[in-house]
Homo-oligomer: A and B are copies of this chain.
């Protein structure tokens, strides 16, 4: 009887252990394999497709033209079908959308750190990748086919968005990328053109989750 109780306790501990492990990975998407660090386009597309949030920068109208970063969610497509183009769901109740409608210059900055794949590296270390996509933040035509694609991309990765208040008049924006700054190892930014980035075929490294 005592042994039986001990077996039960062991089972309970096993459940606790695996439950705990599961909780560890809930905060982020399960990552597709991290590309080789020298495959710059693959690495950049991986960072953008695996992350679900970043900092979107605009030029502040209210703060004398200062660069104004804001935490935003984004999506470049449904999981494992990323396009590399980040889409956003923004309201002019927030300064970022207001700024962009006045001056389109913008950048989106993403860190590898929240993906949990940097090991023990410091977030500023070049070993923990960072990417900044600079370009124009533009409002999509509400009746375009692109807006339909973008809405599906956003709502799939961010289901909560579907329920955000209609009265806030959220609209879909995209970043038209003109420059890519990525560091994913020692030796400075990786050479990477916008064409190389956009033309990279994601399925080269996609894995089914």
Contact = CB atoms under 8 A, between A and B. Distances in A.
8 contacts: A52-B123, A55-B69, A57-B68, A63-B134, A66-B107, A67-B69, A67-B107, A69-B108
A59 interface: yes
Give the interface SS of chain A, mostly helix, strand, loop or mixed: mixed
A4 to B, nearest CB: 10
A66 B105 contact: yes
Given A3-B6, A65-B105, A67-B69, 14 more contacts: A9-B10, A13-B13, A17-B17, A53-B113, A55-B69, A55-B109, A66-B105, A66-B134, A68-B134, A69-B69, A69-B132, A70-B132, A71-B124, A121-B160
Nearest to A6: B6
Range of interface residues on A (Cβ < 8 Å): 35 or more
A53 B124 contact: yes
B53 A59 contact: no
Nearest to A125: B160
